[in-house]
Amino acid sequence: MPLGAYSQQRIIPAKIAVKVPDGISHKQAATLMTKGLTTNYLISKTYILKAGETILFHAAAGGVGQIFAQWANSIGAKVIGTVGSDKKIKIAEENGYAHVINYTKNDFAKKVMEITNNEGVPAVFDGVGKNTFKGSLACLKTRGMMVSFGNASGPLDPVNVPKDIQPKGLYLTRPSIGQYFTNRKELQTGADEVFEKVKFGKIKINIFKEYKLSDAKQAHQDLESRKLTGPAILIP
C-alpha cells in the first residue's frame, strides 16, 4: 500500500482497490477493510471455525474483536472474550461474546477451563501477545491451535517447543493479512464476503467517532490514550 492516506485525493493501484457494493456506505467501507479482512482470514482460512465450537478471542472490545464475535455467531459458534478493563466488558457483550473475562483481574485460563467444563477450547485467537500467550496455551485442548496474530502487549518470549507445544501436540501459527490476500481476485473475494455479512445484518458496524482530516493529530492522541473503544474515521 502506497504511503499518503491522509489526503483528500490519492491514486491507488487498481490491483489493491476493491469495488464497494450498493448498500455499503463509504464510511462503513473505511472502517471495514483491514478489520473485516483480518476477521475473514482468521475464521475462514487460518482456523476454519465450525458451528457449535467455543473458542477464545483476546481483546474482545477492539476493532477486530467487535467484528469477530458477530461473524462467529453468524455461523453458530460461541466466543469467550477477554478485555483489559471492566468498562470494556459491556462493549464485548453487546457485540456477541457469550462470556467476557477481564484478564487483568482474573486468571483467564482458569476461567476458560471452568466455562468449558475443563475441556478447553480448540482455538485461541490472540492479538495481545506477551501478556496472554502462556495462559492461552494452557486453555487449549489437545491438538488445539494457537493463532498469534498481534502483539499489543509486546513481542512473545522465545517459545520452548518441547515444554510449551509438544505435551498437547498444539499448533502455533503467526498469520498476517498479506499471506491470505496475495492477488486481486483473493482481495475482492475476501472483501465481498465481508460486505455480504454487513448487507445481510450479520455484522453491525457502529462508528465510534468521526474526525475532520485536519484533526488527525487529535485522532492519534485519542487512540494512543485508549479513548477510542470502536472504529474511528477521518473525513477529508
Report how far residue 202's alpha carbon sits from residue 72's, in angstroms, rounded to the nearest whole number.
Answer: 10
Q: What tens digit of pLDDT does each residue of 12-42 get?
A: 888 888 999 999 999 999 889 999 999 999 9
The pLDDT tens digits for 112-129 are 999 999 999 999 999 998
Q: Which pTM does this prediction carry? A: 0.91
Length of the chain: 236
CATH T-level assignment (fold) for domain 25-205: Rossmann fold (3.40.50)
d(C-alpha 87, C-alpha 90), whole Å:
7
102-116 core/surface letters (b: 16 or more CB in 10 A; e: else): bbeeeebbebbbebb
Q: Are 92 and 73 in contact (CB under 8 A)?
A: no
Distance of CA 127 to the CA centre of its chain: 7
Q: Per residue in 166-208, pLDDT tens? A: 999 999 999 999 999 999 999 999 999 999 999 999 999 888 8
CA-nearest of 132, 119, 34 to 81 is 132
